[in-house]
């Protein structure tokens, strides 16, 4: 993601609109380039960017949108691209959780100008750690290699060291692992997508439970399955619900990340760099993260429960999971 932001030419004080529910990796590069992450609110049952709020957050300083395909769900990507085009912004797809996901039948990464995938251990495919940044746009493609390789253009010394780049090179040994893993991707993701859709089917209509929305034209790769509790329909809190599920032998997480990104101490204290945020001190941004309000984002974090489905499970297992959720929901129904 750092390579993507550097290649996109994001400059100090520029703004990049993205999600508050994601891994910090989405915005590390934005911050290291001295740009400003701006958080837009999310859709309630996908956790993906709400295009209407993205539009509201655009200012004269906005340079890019990072669409995070949360859990592997490329929701409303086309609308985000239209907004990006209308405002001459670069659309970066954060596909870290979305290996094998399809938007309207096309692989994620084919809509935005630059996209990034994670190969960290827990992803659908992995080589231990690392990732891939890619572009089909000639403007950005060559810059990705350069900014991932200490600002060096190995083919053209004159084009080297014109700007600062870090070393994000991956070893050939890791790349060989990934090449092998890629041959398994379709099997892995088609299974996950089938199991996720089955879980939705089995849970639809369960009082107190909101299912993970995926457009029927798309394929979600379900890095996780996100349910949300509907508190007013239940006589228990989320911790009680997940505890009761555990007693049924089924593990759902009691939440996702502890706080939206803008609620993390380094955002609230603007203390990214040894207690400082130089661009704020220099007057290049007036951003105050203590004032950020994204009500849907916060509602999701208060009520979500994640189920880590994976391709080693089968239909019978998923039906059993759904049965346990229905049992607990029925027990606590108001």
DSSP 267: H
Q: Toward ligand PLP, which CB reaches closer, 26 or 152?
A: 26
Site string for ligand PLP, 120-159 (x = CB under 6 A): x----------x----------------------------
DSSP result, 203-239: HTT-TTEE-----TTSB---SSEEEEE-GGGBSS-HH
Cβ at position 23, least distance to ligand PLP in Å: 3
Q: How far apart are CA 182 and CA 140, in angstroms?
A: 24
Task: Compute the C-alpha angle 68/272/134, nearest 5°.
Answer: 35
What residues numbered 36-95 form the site for ligand PLP, per CB under 6 A? 68, 94
DSSP 273: B
Helix (H) or strand (E) holding 64: strand 62-68
Cβ at position 49, least distance to ligand PLP in Å: 12
Cβ at position 66, least distance to ligand PLP in Å: 9
Residue labelled with tokens 């101490």: 265
Among 2, 7, 16, 26, binds ligand PLP (CB under 6 A): 26
Among 18, 46, 97, 242, binds ligand PLP (CB under 6 A): 97
DSSP 115: E
Q: Toward ligand PLP, which CB reaches closer, 72 or 208?
A: 72
Exposure b/e, 167-198, CB count within 10 A at least 16 = b = ebebeeebeebbeebeeeeeebbebbbbbbbb
Among 18, 34, 46, 118, binds ligand PLP (CB under 6 A): 118
Among 23, 248, 299, 311, binds ligand PLP (CB under 6 A): 23
Q: Toward ligand PLP, which CB reaches closer, 68 or 199?
A: 68
Among 38, 65, 96, 304, binds ligand PLP (CB under 6 A): 96
Residues that bind ligand PLP (CB under 6 A): 1, 22-23, 25-26, 68, 94, 96-97, 118, 120, 131
């Amino acid at each position: 993601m750092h390579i993507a932001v550097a290649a996109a030419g994001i400059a100090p004080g520029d703004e990049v609109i993205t999600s508050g529910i994601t891994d910090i990796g989405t915005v590390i590069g934005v911050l290291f380039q001295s740009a400003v992450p701006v958080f837009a609110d999310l859709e309630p049952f996908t956790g993906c960017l709400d295009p209407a709020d993205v539009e509201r957050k655009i200012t004269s300083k906005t340079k890019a949108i990072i669409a995070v395909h949360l859990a592997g769900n490329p929701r409303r990507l086309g609308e985000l691209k239209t907004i990006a085009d209308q405002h001459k912004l670069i659309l970066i797809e954060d596909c870290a959780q979305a290996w094998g996901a399809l938007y309207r039948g096309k692989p994620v990464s084919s809509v935005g100008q630059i996209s990034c995938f994670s190969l960290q251990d827990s992803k659908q495919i992995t080589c231990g750690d690392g990732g891939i940044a890619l572009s089909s746009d000639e403007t950005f493609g060559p810059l990705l290699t350069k900014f991932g390789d200490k600002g060096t253009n190995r083919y053209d010394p004159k084009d080297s060291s014109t700007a600062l780049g870090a070393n994000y090179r991956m070893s050939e040994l890791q790349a060989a692992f990934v090449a092998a893993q890629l041959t398994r991707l379709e099997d892995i993701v088609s299974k996950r997508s089938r199991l996720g859709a089955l879980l939705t089917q089995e849970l639809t209509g369960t009082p107190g439970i909101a299912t993970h929305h995926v457009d029927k034209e798309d394929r979600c790769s379900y890095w996780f399955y996100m349910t949300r509790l509907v508190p007013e329909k239940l006589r228990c809190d989320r911790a009680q619900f997940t505890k009761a599920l555990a007693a049924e032998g089924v593990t759902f997480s009691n939440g996702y990340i502890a706080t939206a990104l803008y609620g993390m101490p380094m955002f609230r204290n603007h203390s990214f760099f040894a207690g400082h945020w130089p661009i704020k001190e220099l007057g290049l941004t007036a951003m105050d993260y203590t004032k950020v309000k994204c009500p849907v984002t916060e509602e999701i974090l208060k009520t979500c429960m994640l189920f880590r489905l994976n391709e080693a499970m089968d239909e019978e297992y998923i039906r059993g999971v759904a049965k346990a959720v229905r049992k607990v929901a029925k027990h606590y129904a108001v």
